[in-house]
Structure 1
Amino acid sequence: MAPTKAPDSSRRSDRSRRAIHDAALALVGEVGYRRTTIEGIAARAGVGKQTIYRWWPSKAAVLMEAFLDLAGRAAEEAGPQSGDTAQAAQGIPDTGDLTADLKLVLRATVDELNDPALEVPTRALTAEGIIDAQLGAEFVTKLLEPQLALYVTRLRAAQEAGHLRADADPRIALELLIGPLMHRWLLRTLPLTHAYADAIVDYALGGLTPRP
């Protein structure tokens, strides 16, 4: 008889983690963050709640990892040849036209913020991060800072090329671009559109005072 092959525990763990990620994101989308529980995630994923507690200390930690996994899968599925939005999701391009490059990536950001699959967990993590300082710090470190670093790199390249003031602080400059988007998204005051993203870039790079 041929020897029986032992089950691959690593593959089983990967399947369980993916099921837990999917369950956490689905529940948050259906019932909201506060009504999502470890017990509910476990039941939805078909695992014991002790399995979740073995890997994560809280539902916020589960959701954080699930969202990172979702973002990673979205980037892989988009690929480098799937259009402007996918290209922007991989990083800020450097075509030599700073205005066009920034409009491209801000439009991609608008699409992500308007995508229900990403919007709900992002809002949940943002809100919970205000209450839970440790989660908030992790949210910034793992989710926000890698994206903000792309802006800093592109803006510094623009400075070197003479397309941006040499004395401009790239960190403050990126906040002029990202801040208005997040303000409108968080407060839901007005629609978040590509036209609005384009206007932010024009205002940030062109300024508000009349030119001679």
Structure 2
Amino acid sequence: MIDWCIAGWRQQSSQKAQILNWLAEARKLGFERYSLVKQGHHYWLCCCNYADADVAIYVREQIESNAAVFVQQESNQLICVAWNGDTLLGASQFPADSLGVKSLFFITQHWVSNDGMRCPLLIGGRRTRELLEAQIGNDIAVLEVSEVNLNSYSRSSKLHSIRRSPFWLRRRVVFVAISLVFASATTVSWVY
């Protein structure tokens, strides 16, 4: 079974320098693992200590809606991931009981309401819909979608060691190294 990071230390920015600052801060705070993905113009960063993969990144890859509050029951928990465009609104888990459902709708009310962000509520699977049915109001756009398979994860949702640099920094180092080798070879061939 996959250990998902749901309620990790999450940050997002469109600036790479800010992401690097947050990664440095995460190292100081003692986090051991992170995930980072570019979603539109934003980078989504999630740091934690224990998990294999980031549920927010994985769910966002599986659902093609531009804006959504996705909810799915997974054993005795409700998993919720919400986004609007390239902005991650949140990722949370709640007990799959009446108190958990009330908490879920309290947290997400602004995201799904007509006088709020108007994100559609996407319900993963029939049993999740049955659990949420009593709390769904008429002013909420609801779509039932297939359950997201949480028994596997994608390469981009995988968490990496916090000591490992982000992909764009590794790419830059390789580019500089190749450029130096090329410049050295050109200089040597020009001199001789």
Fold shared by both chains (TM-score > 0.5): no
Higher strand share: 2
Smaller-chain TM-score bracket: under 0.3
- Higher RCO (C-alpha under 8 Å, 6+ residues apart): 2
User: TM-score, normalising length from structure 2?
Assistant: 0.25
Higher helix share: 1
User: TM-score, normalising length from structure 1?
Assistant: 0.23
